[in-house]
Amino acid sequence: MVKAVVGACWGDEGKGKITDMLAADADIVVRFQGGANAGHTIVNDYGKFALHLLPSGSFNQNVTNMIGNGVALDIPQLIKEIEDVEAQGVPRPKIVVSERAQVLMPYHRLFDAYEEERLSDRQFGSTKSGIAPFFSDKFSKIGFQVWELFEEDRLREKIKNVIEVKNLMLEHIYHKPLIDENELYETCKQYGEMIKPYVIDSVQYMHNALKEGKTVLLEGQLGSLKDPDFGIYPMTTSSSTLAGYGSIGACIPPYEIKEIITVVKAYSSAVGAGAFVSEIFGSEADELRRRGGDGGEFGVTTGRPRRMGWFDCVASRYGCRVQGTTAVAFTVLDVLGYLDEIPVCVGYEVDGEVTRDFPTTGRLERAKPVYKVLPGWKTDIRGIKSYDELPENCRNYIEFIEKELEVPIKIVSNGPARNDIIMR
């Protein structure tokens, strides 16, 4: 049985918390795409954690956490995160890493930063974690799969070939220091030593796990609108953020993914550049940012303030649709308790016409939000455990959005902690 937990919009919907909660019933939690470029915040009995690469099942001793082949594997970052959670008193998580995952190289980070520098005011707002150069190399077939770290002669030869072109770019395009072949080889050997204890044949592993009836949770990073095919291209990430990609990035037969739980936040936030129709500014945005999430809406990886906005039905419905959502987890609802009235974006006005369908990027950038204003509930809903106890206006807000999303909201999250959850 395979379930996916994925995001509907720009990311930061609270997927980490929902995965951490659902991990209690899972045997395996898998990261199947992305890299260390985004983060999950998890609050549980051990404390508060910012994870970038570690799967959110890492706090549960019954769970094996897998880094699937679809991930950009930043080896020092992964090892650091394992050490950090242990240092905070968490028992050593069970981790396995696919031998087919590709290795994020130190030069990927550099190229990411250099390219943003070159683009200057046209930059993508990259987290500079090396993700775009990494995936470019993967599909240009000059990436390194984990197993290659262990084949010394081959590795040396390949490094030589790969850095030839990298150094040409460094010299002539970016005017930056060149990569030293021997140094890179030594780094790769170190990476090999670091990752060796975790490496498995993930195809075989997953095949056996499913045959034995294990419960697998696929943990998505970012959200639908950052998907390179269906998102706000080119202001997207470089690997698919969709549940369907779990089939590739974790090697799971597509028909095994039975539940797709899409996490939808009760208001909007985004990091990086790109269209954001229901974005708000000034003191209105500052207040929502300050009250948002758990201690404010600031990036887990970069610490930069997130862009804020009202709930966007057009984007969220589309985001749920492209995921193939079977149920929605509606999060961070408690944060809205301070508002008298809550605007919700129900349509986009594009070129003089109102649409409910999410357009391609050109039209999206011209879209103006059409709002419907719903009454607030003006109380703190944290601590409430049953749906019926929520204030009427709060239930009306949920039910209005559920109708707009066209998929059932089965989980409501009313606080950052693991047990701040209302099941419907």
**By CB under 6 A, is residue 413 in contact with ligand GDP?**
yes
Classified as helix, coil or strand, 39 is: coil
Nearer to ligand GDP, 275 or 332 (CB): 332
Write out the H or E segment, with its range, that includes residue 249: helix 246-249
Yes or no: say if 266 and 331 are a contact pair by the CB < 8 Å rule. yes
**By CB under 6 A, is residue 224 in contact with ligand GDP?**
no
The residue from 6, 9, 11, 55 that contacts ligand GDP (CB under 6 A) is 11
**By CB under 6 A, is residue 40 in contact with ligand GDP?**
yes
The residue from 10, 32, 33, 41 that contacts ligand GDP (CB under 6 A) is 41
Write out the H or E segment, with its range, that includes residue 115: helix 106-119
- 40 catalytically annotated: yes
Minimal CA–CA distance to 313: which of 403, 220, 229? 403
**By CB under 6 A, is residue 78 in contact with ligand GDP?**
no
Min dist. Cβ of residue 165 to ligand GDP (A):
34
Task: Tell me which residues in 280-299 interact with ligand GDP (CB under 6 A).
Answer: 293-294
**By CB under 6 A, is residue 15 in contact with ligand GDP?**
yes
Give the angle subtended at the CA of 168 by the CAs of 166 and 169, to the nearest 5°.
65
How many chain residues are in contact with ligand GDP, going by CB under 6 A? 25
Nearer to ligand GDP, 94 or 382 (CB): 382
Classified as helix, coil or strand, 147 is: helix
H, E, C per residue of 183-247: HHHHHHHHHHHHHHHHEECHHHHHHHHHHCCCCEEEECCCCHHHCCCCCCCCCCCCCCCCHHHHH
Cα separation of 362 and 399, whole Å?
32
DSSP bridge pairs for 5: 219, 261
**By CB under 6 A, is residue 13 in contact with ligand GDP?**
yes
**By CB under 6 A, is residue 23 in contact with ligand GDP?**
no
Classified as helix, coil or strand, 168 is: helix
Cα separation of 319 and 153, whole Å?
46
Min dist. Cβ of residue 301 to ligand GDP (A):
9
Minimal CA–CA distance to 26: which of 193, 162, 204, 213? 213
Q: How many CA atoms lie within 13 A of 84 on its CB side?
A: 14
Cα separation of 49 and 61, whole Å?
16
From 20, 25, 27, 40, the catalytic residue: 40
Task: Tell me which residues in 330-349 interact with ligand GDP (CB under 6 A).
Answer: 331-332, 334-335
**By CB under 6 A, is residue 319 in contact with ligand GDP?**
no
Nearer to ligand GDP, 43 or 146 (CB): 43
**By CB under 6 A, is residue 6 in contact with ligand GDP?**
no
A 10 A CB-CB count for 298 gives 17
| 336 burial via Cβ count (<10 Å: 0-12, 13-18, 19+) | buried
**By CB under 6 A, is residue 226 in contact with ligand GDP?**
no
Nearer to ligand GDP, 12 or 112 (CB): 12
Window of 14-22, 158-166, 208-216, 311-319 that interacts with ligand GDP by CB under 6 A:
14-22
Nearer to ligand GDP, 11 or 133 (CB): 11
Nearer to ligand GDP, 12 or 137 (CB): 12
Min dist. Cβ of residue 331 to ligand GDP (A):
4
Window of 66-74, 224-232, 349-357, 408-416 that interacts with ligand GDP by CB under 6 A:
408-416
Q: Which two three-digit tokens encode residue 342?
A: 């809550």
- 12 catalytically annotated: yes
**By CB under 6 A, is residue 300 in contact with ligand GDP?**
yes
Minimal CA–CA distance to 241: which of 70, 363, 19? 70
**By CB under 6 A, is residue 57 in contact with ligand GDP?**
no
**By CB under 6 A, is residue 415 in contact with ligand GDP?**
yes
Nearer to ligand GDP, 332 or 342 (CB): 332
A 10 A CB-CB count for 284 gives 14
H, E, C per residue of 56-102: HHHHCCCCEEEECCCCEECHHHHHHHHHHHHHCCCCCCEEEEECCCE
Window of 5-13, 154-162, 178-186, 371-379 that interacts with ligand GDP by CB under 6 A:
5-13
Minimal CA–CA distance to 401: which of 314, 295, 289? 314
Q: So which residues are the catalytic ones?
A: 12, 40
Would you tell me which residues interact with ligand GDP (CB under 6 A)? 7, 11-17, 38-41, 43, 293-294, 300, 331-332, 334-335, 413-416, 420
